[in-house]
Amino acid sequence: MSDSTPAGVGRRVRNARLRSGLTQRELAEQSGISLRYVKQVEGGEAPGVRAETLRRLAVPAGVTVTALLGSVPLSEPSDPAAMWVPVRDALLSPARPGGDPVTADGYGLSLAAAVKLYHDNRYRELAAALPLLLRDAADAPPLLRSQAYQLAGSVMVQTRQHDAAEVALSRSLADAEATGARLDAASAVITRCWLLLAQGRFAETLRLSAEWADRVEPRISTATPAELSAWGWLLLRGSAAAVRDNRQDVADDMMRLAEAAAVAAGRERGGYRSYWTTFGPATVAMKRAENAVVAGRPDVALRIARRVPGTLRPTSDNRNRHLLDVAGAHLDLREPGEALQVMTRLRHEAGPWLAEQRMARDLTVRLIRPRRKLTGEMRDLADAVRLPL
């Protein structure tokens, strides 16, 4: 339902002006309307604005009168969930009976290709490939089926479709446990902890991560990289939950154990089965910085961030999320120029990923809200994060 109140009309006039890169004075001059009245309209203090006045404001702003009245959006950001409807349907509807036989080798190759699409941020191609994987999952070997469901769960968490993520990750864990694949099960739990964090279920995240960290805790002196990665990531999830639940001591303890696992790993390397994520000293440093931002210590976060290598892949979710934390820390320290520089870097290097991040939209709002006039760089960033100005 459109908001036709003076406040609603005023907000849309202001947003249209910002989108066009005009100041209030420039809009007044180009529309032939007094600056004082433009300010009243944008402030919601001008009841009963005439259609002719809106038309004069719409022309320099480059929008329709209908848009200013709220009957259509000022801009048409793409629906980030629309392309995932077939994936949701494949998860939430019964699997179709198999046609051609599903072989372990063939399914494994298809799964590996889909995982690569995910980590390369090629979401449209992934959205086309994933329903086929899920359709054939019923006839696939249980362990590969578990991994396919974990991939689908990761996508659903990423795109904030939590009900479908719950279904996918429950199936992933059940298949992994049924085959006795302890580290695959732990990997599914790590992703489920991400889902719980996104839902604000911090106590549940902490309980689940601690329980599974105890289950898979390795002897560090003889642990494999896969064991260290699974254990370390469970500890990182628990630490993230604890700091958000104002349990700083628990967060610090779990972070110290994760750091011990990272030191034992020796360097940043692929996580379990080498494709879900990486783990090592850089990952722990990035998560330390994230905890510092959450705890309201942006100066500490930036100090930690300076120790993170600058050679991490632009397609790394961890690296990109870390850069959002860095941008947030700069904003907290009233350094908008530095924050915009970081966000612009992300727009160029990881645009498809950035478009899916609610945190990126929130940071962009913080960047542009105080501005009387948006630069082209700011407008490009607003477009990249699908922010309807």
Residue 347: which domain range?
310-389
pLDDT in tens, 156-206: 999 889 999 999 999 999 999 999 999 999 999 999 999 999 999 999 999
Residue 148 lies in a domain: no
Q: C-alpha distances in angstroms, 154 versus 1, 119, 139, 177, 280?
A: 33, 11, 22, 19, 21
How far, in Å, CA of 138 to CA of 140, rounded? 6
| Residue 335 within a domain | yes
Judge whether 153 and 191 are in contact, CB under 8 Å: yes
Whether residue 36 is contained in a domain is answered as yes
Tell me, what's the pLDDT at 262?
A: 94
DSSP code at position 29:
H
DSSP 280: S
**172 found inside a domain:** no
pLDDT beyond 60 at 1 = no
Residue 97 has pLDDT above 60, yes or no: no
Residue 117 lies in a domain: no
Domain end, chosen from 69, 87, 114, is at: 69
Return the beta strands (E) in the chain as ranges.
269-270, 278-279
Q: Is residue 386 part of a domain?
A: yes
Of 43, 69, 95, the domain-final residue: 69
- This prediction's pTM: 0.81
pLDDT in tens, 72-91: 555 544 455 678 899 999 99
User: Which CATH number is 22's domain given?
Assistant: 1.10.260.40
Domain assignment present for 170: no
Which of 35, 51, 69 represents a domain boundary (last residue)? 69
Say how many C-beta atoms besides its own lie within 10 A of residue 13's C-beta.
28
Spatial separation of the C-alpha atoms in residues 191 and 20, rounded to whole Å: 41
Q: How many domains does the chain have?
A: 2
Residue 125 has pLDDT above 50, yes or no: yes
